[in-house]
Structure 1
Amino acid sequence: MMKHEEIYRATLAKWGEQAQYDQAVEECAELIAALKHFRREKIDAAAVISELADVTLMIGQLTYMFGPDEVEKAVAVKLSKLHNLLET
C-alpha cells in the first residue's frame, strides 16, 4: 500500500496543484452541507464521517503541498491562542 506522501505526490503529478485547490474547496463545501443536513436530522453521522474523511485527506494533501513544518508551526500558534482564550 502507498504511503500518504506517495499518494499526495502521485495526485499532484496526475491532476496538478490547481485541481487540488479546487478539490479541497469542493470537499469542504460538501462537509458544510453535510453538517447542516445532520443538524436537521436529514442524514446520519456516517454521512458526516464520510465527508469528514474526504476533507481530512484534502487537508493532508494541502499540508503536503504547503509544507508540513510550516503548517505545524501555524497550528502551534493557533493552539496557543485557543489555550489563552480558554483561560480567560
Structure 2
Amino acid sequence: MEREQLYQATIKKWGEDAQYDQAVEECAELIAALKHFRRGKIDKQSVISELADVSLMLGQLCWMFGQAEVDDAIREKLKKLDKLLSDEEGI
C-alpha cells in the first residue's frame, strides 16, 4: 500500500483527532529521546526509530493539511533562513 493510501486508512480507522494526538505523542517521544541521547542514556538507533515515527506522522499531517500548502510554507521558511545566514555572514 502506498503512503497516501495508508494515511487515508489511518484517518478512516482512527479519525483525524486521534491522529493529531498521535502526532503530538510521537513528537514528545522524539524530544525525550534527543534529551536521553545527549545524556548518553540511549543509542543512536533509538533516536532514529523516533525520527521515523515523527516522519511518518509529519507525512500524514502534510497530507491532511495539504502538501502544496506545506511546501509553500517550507519555501518561505528556507528563504528566511537563507537571509538570516547571509546577514550573519556579513557581520
TM-score normalized by the length of structure 1: 0.98
| CA distance in 2: counterparts of 1:39 and 1:67, whole angstroms | 34
Instruction: Provide the C-alpha distance between the structure 2 equivalents of 1:60 and 1:84, rounded to a whole number of angstroms.
Output: 27
CA distance, structure 1, for counterparts of residue 45 and residue 82 of structure 2: 30
Task: Show structure 1 runs of 4+ deviating over 4 A.
Answer: none
Cα distance in 2, alignment partners of residues 83 and 16 from structure 1: 38
Larger Rg: 2
Match of residue 41 from structure 1: 40
Q: Gaps (5+ residues) in structure 2?
A: none
Q: Say if 2:19 is the partner of 1:27.
A: no
Tell me, which stretches of 5 or more residues in structure 1 are unaligned?
none
**Is it true that 1:77 corresponds to 2:76 in the alignment?**
yes
- SS of alignment partner, residue 49 of structure 1: helix
Deviations along 1:21-80, whole A, 9 cap, x unmatched? 000000000000000000000000000000000000000000000000000000000000
TM-score (norm 2): 0.95
| 2:42 alignment partner, SS class | coil
CA shift, 1:11, in A, is 0.4
Once residues 83 and 48 of structure 2 are traced to their aligned partners in structure 1, the CA distance between those partners, rounded to angstroms, is 30
**Identity value in percent:** 68
State the alpha-carbon separation in 2 of the partners of residues 69 and 51 from structure 1. 26
Would you say how many aligned residue pairs link Structure 1 and Structure 2? Answer: 87
Q: Is 1:11 matched up with 2:10?
A: yes
CA distance, structure 1, for counterparts of residue 33 and residue 15 of structure 2: 27
